[in-house]
Amino acid sequence: MRTSIATVSLSGSLTEKLTAASRAGFDGVEIFENDLLASPLTPEEIRARCADLGLRIDLYQPMRDIEAVPADEFARNLRRARHKFELMRRLGADTVLVCSSVSPLAVDDDPLAAEQLHRLADLAQDFGIRVAYEALAWGRHVNTYDHAWRIVDAAGHPALGTCLDSFHILSRGSDVKGIEDIPGEKIFFLQLADAPLLAMDVLQWSRHYRCFPGQGGFDVAGLVQHVLRTGYTGPLSLEVFNDVFRQAEAGPTAVDAHRSLLVLQEAVGAAALPRPVVPTGVAFAELVTPDTAPVSALLTALGFARTARHRTKPVDLWQQGEARILVNTGPAVPRGGTQLAAIGLQSPDPAAAADRAEALLAPVLPRRRALRTPRWMPSPPPTARNSSSAAPTAGAQTSSTSPTPRRHRRPPHRPPRPHPALAPLRRGDPLPPQRPRTARPGERRRRRPLRPAAQPRRHQRRRQCPHRPDRRRRAHRRHRPRPAHRPGHG
């Protein structure tokens, strides 16, 4: 099935969100109106950008407080809708999301709501746009999906359908079995979100605590199964309002979002992934720290001993029986304190586990060493830490699932041989030939004329004026003013 994500689910600018969604593997996006208004790009440029990234604009949202309002208010709503439809035509979007009204002007009148939605669908049809009507969980009069479907069914317009949102449905505890009574062609869009089970205001719950499917307490997979039984063929789209996601990087968040949809499709039988491999134990835990002193003291107090050190990385192995902890002090370590960086699991089938991890968008790290090259060297004892003949620590045998080092004898220390050009000269050795300097490309070498050794330089033959050293004394006298002529003298 096609996958999509709302731009409100990611952080950054609209261009950054589109790039992250494309790289994560999504097929389309929902353009949130606030993101469009904040972008310096025109609708035509955004449309071209999505086309370059291989994304389709599946939905434009939201359009609020349209139906069940007085006539003069609805006339203003139609004018507002016309401008949105013209914008959507420039953007290349063919479906608009209309939320159930929360306006204090709205009345509890289903025939009036159906009639006004029919007129809105007539206007949208002129622009080639479909209207997806969604029931907000905090709607003023329409707050359940079955109520919204009754209004859509009563309107009876081909350009008017319904939008199902898993949060609005499951947060109110609605019966999801009734979804199968809706024809699949009238379900214009499906938005998915999970959430932890909290007892709080539903609006605040929705705006701050949504998460991706599988991360909360809702049965999102069961709802999707009922939707698929109706014959729905549209995309599975994520609409997640979460404060943490809006502050995190857009790239990793988009990858986690697409991964959740892959697992969801596997759960409902819409996609096949490599079989999961159940781990048999924990191989190691890796800590990153800028200062090893407090961590080493704590591990020593807990009975751990440093048994090995990585050959090419600043990583130490601490071990106590079958418990292994790696302490990493690399240059990329964050300076915020000691943190848990990784947990290694023992797997009965590492190849199958790697295949499933790769199918779930886990990055593949390139191997920069030979398979049989030992990664770990034993740590020398405290009394002979700098001795090259220190014996390996017992139990330092590595395996495919643990970082325990193999037994390895360190080669004897040999001083490196100096390069012949850098070797010191001995008495009697011929001098190395001097390589003449060659002019660089485009450079013209300047040769100074030879002077006889006995001939003094020009500036040495003439004395400088002590008061004006930048000029010679002869030039200074030439410009000195003459004394005035006094009568009776010559």
Helices (H), 315-461: 350-359, 458-461
d(CA 333, CA 53): 34
The residues pairing with 238 across neighbouring beta strands, listed in sequence order, are 5, 192
Q: Tens digit of pLDDT for each residue in 478-487?
A: 555 555 555 5
Comparing CA positions, the residue from 374, 381, 384 lying closest to residue 405 is 374
Residue 46: HSE in the Cβ half-sphere, 13 Å Cα cutoff:
31
For position 404, what pLDDT does the model report? 45
Q: Which of 189-193, 362-366, 406-410 has the lowest mean pLDDT?
A: 406-410
Q: Is 453 helix (H, G, I), strand (E, B) or coil?
A: coil
pLDDT for res 89: 95
pLDDT at 170 over 50: yes
pLDDT of residue 437: 57
Which of 79-83, 177-181, 461-465 is predicted least confidently? 461-465
Rounded to whole angstroms, how far apart are CA atoms 149 and 80? 24
* pLDDT for the residue 330: 78
At residue 91, what are phi and psi to the nearest 5 degrees?
-80, -25
Q: Is the pLDDT of residue 407 over 70?
A: no
d(CA 134, CA 235): 16
Where in the chain are the domains? Answer: 3-268, 281-359
Q: Does residue 53 carry a pLDDT above 80?
A: yes
Q: What are the tokens at 138?
A: 């905090």
Query: What percent of the chain clears pLDDT 70, i.e. is strictly above it?
Result: 74
Strand 3-6, strand 28-32: pairing: parallel
For domain 281-359, which CATH number applies: 3.30.1300.10, 3.10.180.10, 3.30.1280.10, 3.30.505.50? 3.10.180.10
- Taking 70 as the threshold, does the pLDDT of residue 317 lie above it? yes
The least confident of 15-24, 299-308, 412-421 is: 412-421
Q: Contact at 8 Å (CB) between 166 and 211? A: no
| Distance from C-alpha of 124 to C-alpha of 232, rounded to nearest angstrom | 22
Structure tokens at 487: 């009568």
For 152, the token pair is: 């859509």
φ, ψ of residue 134 in degrees (nearest 5): -120, 140
Note the pLDDT of residue 93: 95
Tokens of 10: 């990611």
107-142 in b/e form (b: 16+ CB < 10 A) is eeebebbbbbbbbbbeebbebebbbbbbbbbbbbbb
- The DSSP code sequence of 302-332 is TT-EEEEEESSSSEEEEEETTEEEEEE--TT
How many other β-carbons are positioned within 10 Å of the β-carbon of residue 396? 20
Q: What is the pTM of this model?
A: 0.72
Q: Which residues face 343 on adjacent strands? A: 285
Cα separation, 273 vs 79, in Å, equals 49
d(CA 347, CA 402): 10
Residue 313 banded pLDDT, cuts 50, 70, 90: confident
Q: To 5 degrees, how large is the angle CA 223–CA 227–CA 228? A: 115
Does residue 341 sit in helix, strand or coil? strand
Our CA angle for 40, 45, 47, nearest 5°, is 120
Report the DSSP beta bridge partners of residue 97: 132
What's the pLDDT at 337? Answer: 80
CB atoms within 10 A of CB 430: 6
Task: Find tokens 């199964």 and name the residue.
Answer: 225
Which amino acid, one-letter code, is at 436? P
CA torsion, ordered 450, 455, 460, 463, to nearest 10 deg: -140
Stretch 447-476: mean pLDDT, rounded? 53
Reading the block at residue 91, the tokens are 């953007």
Mean per-residue pLDDT, 174-188: 95
Sheet with strand 323-328: strands edge to edge: 339-346, 281-288, 323-328, 315-320, 305-310, 376-378
Which residue reads 């995309």 in tokens? 235
Flag whether pLDDT at 60 surpasses 50: yes
What number is the average pLDDT over the span 346-367? 87
Name the most confidently modeled range: 272-286, 372-386, 388-402. Answer: 272-286
**Per-residue model confidence (pLDDT) at position 290:** 87
| pLDDT tens-digit map of 114-153 | 999 999 999 999 999 999 999 999 999 999 999 999 999 9
- Lookup: tokens for 101: 């009204």
What three-state secondary structure class fits 211?
strand
The CATH code of domain 3-268 reads 3.20.20.150
Tell me what pLDDT residue 363 has.
82
Q: Which residues of 231-256 are buried (b: 16+ CB within 10 A; e: fewer)?
A: ebebbbbbbbbbeebbeeebbebbbb
The SS3 assignment for 426 reads: coil
Q: How far apart are CA 469 and CA 463, in angstroms?
A: 9
Residue 464 pLDDT: 53
Average pLDDT, whole number, for the chain?
83
Token readout for 228 is 């698929």
